[in-house]
């Protein structure tokens, strides 16, 4: 459309970059249609859960103080439990981020003398201090919880032989990170996660399995809780918040595990009975309602990114043709300059803070300098268009989000434009 091209030109996108994007887009119609089918299923699943639990305007009333008898809060947790097919759920604005939700789940269900096993290699950077892999005050290691990991095989699959050897009498919990984090390994499908859970529980049936589900919600029609996970954990400023949740996290799982998490979040004896919603219920309900279609748009953006960058010689994980199990697209740019140019493009496409320039800097919880681009309505929201990565080889940038597919498209085109402008790409 000529008018669109002219508008994009006023925003800094050249005709050559636009044409290159349209050429890539022409071959993605079938994949996008399949994503829309998954979104339609998940949308119906969410609506059915809301209808079953008789969501009404009364659910949106604000509560303060202790939050006793907060019907809207408790009903939202029933909705989450029904969508995730679990016995219970804890969905609270008092959970500050995904790392906090994971910390609650771990510390509530591991006791001194227990062992935590990661059969998928090293966890995400911020969780390493929680566990005590990198020393930190109040880590699990300080409280006498030991840790063991089994690295993935070179092809990114599970090392079942060594996992079997690692599970011993002290092993209490298995933690599985679904998404890649700051690694260039494959994201695991729900089917793969189910196979790993079944293998571990066949060896030791009383194991608790926790899945870090961040970035994976609603990408498939099933969740890890459908294939045996005792706790499925995530952040509300990622997929399930739909871009409207301003804060929060969730833990969906067995009644026993979730009850313990509630005691850890608040206090023993209080548990789920306290925790005011502070007027956030409308955003949390409506964000969850929108999440399936928002996630679909973000997934389209990730696929589009791979189909733009891979033909230019950049390694993409997943690659341009692979099936998708989260919304993250890693692109190995090969240099700090490439990461900066890419992130400048994402920032320039933002509706908020588009005038800012992202730059690598120190970040709490990370060993390396990190560059982050995100002009978001909710600070740090990675279901909104964003890109980030640690400044270390292979200099991979991790692109995700976009509350609409069209914003994701604009951001990717702008990232490519900045790469062209910097002389790092020739079209």
Look up the CATH number of domain 58-288.
3.40.640.10
> What residue ranges of the chain have pLDDT lower than 50?
none
Nearest of 271, 323, 231 to residue 73 by alpha carbon: 271
Q: Which residues, other chains included, contact 283 with Cβ-Cβ below 8 Å and sequence gap of 6+?
A: 241, 244, 245, 246
CA distance linking residue 246 with residue 360, whole number of Å: 25
Look up the CATH number of domain 2-42+292-421.
3.90.1150.60
Tokens 């870090």, located at residue = 212
Q: What are the phi and psi torsion angles at 249 (to 5°)?
A: -150, 170
Map out the domains of the chain as residue ranges. Answer: 2-42+292-421, 58-288
CA distance linking residue 1 with residue 3, whole number of Å: 6
CA distance linking residue 15 with residue 285, whole number of Å: 41
Helix (H, G, I), strand (E, B) or coil at 70: coil
Question: Residue 237 class from Cβ within 10 Å (0-12 exposed, 13-18 middle, 19+ buried)?
Answer: buried
The answer to whether the Cα torsion of 227, 232, 237, 238 is positive or negative is: negative
Q: Which residues, other chains included, contact 44 with Cβ-Cβ below 8 Å and sequence gap of 6+?
A: none
pLDDT for 181: 83
Tokens 């991979």, located at residue = 396
Same fold, 2-42+292-421 and 58-288: no
pTM, 2 dp: 0.96
Tell me the CA end-to-end span of the chain in Å, nearest whole number: 21
pLDDT for 163: 98
């Amino acid at each position: 459309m000529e008018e669109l091209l002219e508008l994009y030109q006023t925003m800094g996108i050249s005709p050559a970059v636009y044409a290159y994007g349209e050429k890539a887009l022409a071959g993605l119609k079938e994949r996008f249609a399949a994503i829309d089918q998954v979104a339609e299923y998940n949308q119906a699943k969410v609506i059915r859960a809301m209808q079953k639990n008789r969501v009404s305007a009364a659910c949106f009333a604000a509560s303060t103080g202790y939050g006793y008898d907060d019907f809207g809060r408790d009903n939202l947790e029933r909705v989450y439990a029904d969508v995730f097919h679990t016995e219970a759920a804890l969905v609270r604005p008092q959970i500050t981020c995904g790392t906090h939700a994971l910390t609650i789940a771990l510390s509530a269900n591991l006791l001194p003398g227990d062992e935590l096993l990661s059969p998928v290699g090293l966890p995400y950077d911020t969780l390493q201090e929680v566990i005590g892999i990198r020393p930190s005050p109040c880590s699990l290691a300080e409280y006498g919880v030991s840790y063991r990991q089994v690295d993935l095989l070179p092809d990114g699959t599970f090392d079942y032989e060594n996992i079997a050897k690692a599970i011993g009498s002290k092993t209490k919990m298995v933690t599985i990170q679904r998404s890649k984090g700051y690694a260039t390994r494959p994201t695991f499908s729900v089917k793969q996660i189910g196979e790993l859970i079944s293998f571990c529980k066949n060896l030791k049936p009383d194991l608790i399995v926790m899945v870090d589900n961040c970035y994976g919600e609603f990408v498939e029609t099933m969740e890890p809780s459908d294939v045996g996970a005792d706790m499925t954990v995530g952040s509300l400023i990622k997929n399930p918040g739909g871009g409207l949740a301003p804060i929060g996290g969730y833990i969906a799982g067995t009644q026993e595990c979730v009850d313990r998490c509630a005691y850890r979040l608040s206090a023993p004896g209080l548990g789920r009975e306290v925790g005011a919603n502070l007027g956030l219920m409308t955003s949390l309900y409506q964000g969850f309602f929108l999440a399936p279609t928002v996630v679909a748009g973000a997934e389209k953006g990730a696929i589009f990114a791979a189909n733009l960058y891979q033909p230019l010689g950049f390694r993409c994980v997943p690659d341009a043709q692979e099936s998708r199990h989260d919304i993250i697209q890693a692109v190995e740019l090969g240099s700090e300059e490439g990461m900066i140019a890419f992130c400048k493009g994402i920032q320039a496409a933002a509706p908020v803070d588009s005038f800012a320039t992202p730059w690598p800097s120190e970040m709490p919880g990370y060993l390396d300098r990190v560059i982050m681009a995100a002009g978001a309505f909710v600070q740090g929201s990675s279901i909104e268009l964003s890109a980030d990565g640690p400044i270390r080889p292979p200099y991979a940038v991790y692109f995700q989000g976009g509350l609409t597919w069209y914003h994701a498209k604009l951001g990717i085109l702008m990232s490519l434009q900045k790469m062209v402008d910097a002389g790092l790409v020739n079209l």
